Amino acid sequence: MLTTNPERNKLFCCKILFAFILLAMPSILAAQDEATILIQRMEQAKGNAKIDLMNEISIVFRKTDRHKSMDYARQAFKLSVENSYLPGKALAKKNEGICWFFIGNNDSAMICYKEALGVFSQVGDEMGMSACYNNLGLIAQETGKYDDALKFYQRSVDMDRKLGDEIGVATTLVNIADIYMYSGNAKKALPVIDKCLEIYAAHSDRSGLLVSYSTRASVFDYLKQYDKAVRDFTETLKLARELKDKYQEIMATSNLGVTYWHWKKPESAMQYLTTALEMSDENDDAYNIDNTLKTIAEINTSQGKYVKANEILQKILNRNVEIENQRQAAIIMTAIGRNLMELNEMDKALGYLMKSLEITVKINAKYEILENYRNLSQANAILHNFKNADSLQDLFAETYASLFNPDSIAGIRKENSEKDSTSLSSASAPSDWIIAFLLFILIVMMSVFGFGRNHNKN
């Protein structure tokens, strides 16, 4: 059980906070040393060389201080305009876009990427164009526009293959694997990620290995292979510390907490989640905070603290609605709806669940659609709307079959329908109903969390 001793909790949190301040110091100091050297060189430089150094400084600060990173990107952009230096202008705008993306402002990031893409196209920089297509794909992915995301990603992959840039190809393949996961094809993502690991290992690219391990861990979590997920997230955490990448370290810590919670190990989960929150900066790590708070809310739900859980979830929902992250907003709506059902506020619950279903159908997020059918069926049954409940239960069974067992109910019904729509006996219908009902009872709550903050191209 989780400890309920306030003094013990306070002491534990203080120890954790102090420990991670010590862990973070080398990373901060190393970045400062590198930035200091570059700043000294920049102050002596002139013209385009000065702009190039500003962009380098922006990239260095991206891992430790995104506001400084953005400031140098904007300085580089301004000076590039004054000097009519198009390559510097394009890179500066892309750097600013990446900062906006990590802060959580997708609209501003998209504007920057599109502007950068236009300038890269103007100077014929295909590597820069490929990076922008990849990053625009991330924006489409974050907002649930998976078809658009895949189109952007494919353009990026095609360009990188033409350039012989294997690392660029692997970077985008990681994001394509994420799309497979979100659209209900987790198993299809595994060979894609294994290919990425092969490429990154061949090039001794530890940053690429980090992202690939993190993505594969997410796939294993979807597949409920929690021991493998913990193994890969632990490797991710190790690499993040070696690379002194605070952002990835926080994310790996949070993801370990999420995985342990899915694995029904709440004590281990809370230790990692609490640590991740204490390491996070409210100003620039909105994604990590949301991912962590979402799991803490779910743990509160499991303890019957539904009002407290919904207070946390509502804050996350407001932020995701603001940045138009449809998939995450739908997931949070479903969680709020479930808690409202427990509080017997059925009308409000149906409102949240129906809105979530509307979004998930629109973006074809199959796992989330499945969860909404399950909850809506239960809600209608509680309200004695048995006809609606039965229809939703059938949809649940068919969606579940299409995701996990194509030869079960949905496949059987389709095959029989094609052979002879009148051949089903009166005895087979109750049999199907029983199977569907058993599936409905046996499937546990599926809260699907997006783990990795997907990979931008620098």
Q: What HEC string does the chain produce?
A: CCCCCHHHHHHHHHHHHHHHHHHHHHHHHHHHHHHHHHHHHHHHCCHHHHHHHHHHHHHHHCCCCHHHHHHHHHHHHHHHHHHCCHHHHHHHHHHHHHHHHHHCCHHHHHHHHHHHHHHHHHHCCHHHHHHHHHHHHHHHHHCCCHHHHHHHHHHHHHHHHHHCCHHHHHHHHHHHHHHHHHCCCHHHHHHHHHHHHHHHHHCCCHHHHHHHHHHHHHHHHHCCCHHHHHHHHHHHHHHHHHCCCHHHHHHHHHHHHHHHHHCCCHHHHHHHHHHHHHHCCCCCCHHHHHHHHHHHHHHHHHCCCHHHHHHHHHHHHHHHHHCCCHHHHHHHHHHHHHHHHHCCCHHHHHHHHHHHHHHHHHHCCHHHHHHHHHHHHHHHHHCCCHHHHHHHHHHHHHHHHHHHCCCCHHHHHHHHHHHCCCCCCCCHHHHHHHHHHHHHHHCCCCCCCCCCCCCCCC
- The segment(s) of the chain belonging to CATH 1.25.40.10 are 25-124
Do the beta carbons of residue 353 and residue 372 sit within 8 Å? yes
| pLDDT at residue 80 in the model | 94
Percent of the chain's residues with pLDDT above 90: 53
**Which residues lie closer than 8 Å to 80 by C-beta, 6 or more apart?**
51, 86, 88, 89, 92
Q: pLDDT tens, 190-224?
A: 999 999 999 999 999 999 999 999 999 999 999 99
Determine the Cα–Cα distance for residues 161 and 173; give it in Å rounded to an integer.
Answer: 12
Q: Is the pLDDT of residue 42 over 80?
A: yes
Lowest-confidence range among 114-118, 130-134, 395-399? Answer: 395-399
pLDDT band at 285 (very low <50, low <70, confident <90, very high): low
pLDDT band at 29 (very low <50, low <70, confident <90, very high): very low
| pLDDT at residue 454 in the model | 57
CATH class belonging to 25-124: mainly alpha
Residue 199 vs residues 39, 54, 164, 167, 322: alpha-carbon distances, Å: 34, 31, 12, 7, 37
Residues in the chain: 458
Determine the Cα–Cα distance for residues 85 and 381; give it in Å rounded to an integer.
Answer: 65
First to last CA, the chain: 44
| pLDDT at residue 411 in the model | 36
Q: pLDDT tens, 391-443?
A: 888 888 887 877 665 443 333 233 333 333 333 233 333 444 444 444 444 33
Q: Is the pLDDT of residue 15 over 90?
A: no
Averaged confidence pLDDT in the chain: 81
Report which of 356, 360, 431 is spatially closest to residue 399, judged by C-alpha positions.
360
pLDDT band at 320 (very low <50, low <70, confident <90, very high): confident
pTM check: above 0.75: no
| pLDDT at residue 258 in the model | 93
| pLDDT at residue 417 in the model | 35
Q: Is the pLDDT of residue 49 over 70?
A: yes
